[in-house]
Amino acid sequence: MEGKMKSGVFGKIMDSVQLAGLLSATANIERMKVGQGLNAISWEIFKKTTDKNILQEALGFSKRSLEFLPDAAFMDTYANLYYKLGLKQEAIAHEKQALSLADKKDVETYKGMEETLRKMTAGEKTWK
């Protein structure tokens, strides 16, 4: 792709530094999309099944999403999957990590994560 960009119209209007910046931004966008997709799949599985084997697969997808983007929402999904698998201590540790990554200005999301942590600590379900 880089070769095509250098030889095409981009190579005529951008220097190599600008082109490298564009390629880096494009790669970051693609990484975010993959991470978001993996997290979305993991969250849907969390909400819809109690099958431990399927939940374990989703935990792997969720872990991979965090490799693409260490995001509070992704960490929340990861923590919830641990919790539904019965791994309470791991779940609580990861939910605390999700809270540390969360934007406190997003009050609704932050309070939701606090409530999830409270439920985990109390041994209550975090799913419907």
The confidence score (pLDDT) of residue 7 equals 52
Mean pLDDT of 76-100: 98
51 lies in some domain: yes
127 lies in some domain: no
Domain count, the chain: 1
113 lies in some domain: yes
The confidence score (pLDDT) of residue 65 equals 97
The confidence score (pLDDT) of residue 20 equals 73
- For 105, list phi and psi in degrees, rounded to 5: -70, -25
The confidence score (pLDDT) of residue 21 equals 75
72 lies in some domain: yes
State what percent of residues in the chain have pLDDT above 70: 88
The confidence score (pLDDT) of residue 31 equals 86
Q: Is the pLDDT of residue 3 over 70?
A: no
Q: Is the pLDDT of residue 100 over 90?
A: yes
The confidence score (pLDDT) of residue 10 equals 54
CATH number of the domain within which 51 lies: 1.25.40
9 lies in some domain: yes
Give the tens place of pLDDT for each residue, 17-69.
777 777 778 888 888 999 999 999 999 999 999 999 999 999 999 999 999 98
Report CA 35 to chain centroid distance, whole Å: 6
Q: What is the dihedral of CA 82, 83, 87, 88, to 10 degrees?
A: 130
Q: What is the dihedral of CA 105, 119, 97, 92, to 10 degrees?
A: 170
100 lies in some domain: yes
| 108 vs 7 pLDDT, higher one | 108
79 lies in some domain: yes
128 lies in some domain: no
Q: Which residue segment(s) compose the domain that 61 sits in?
A: 2-122
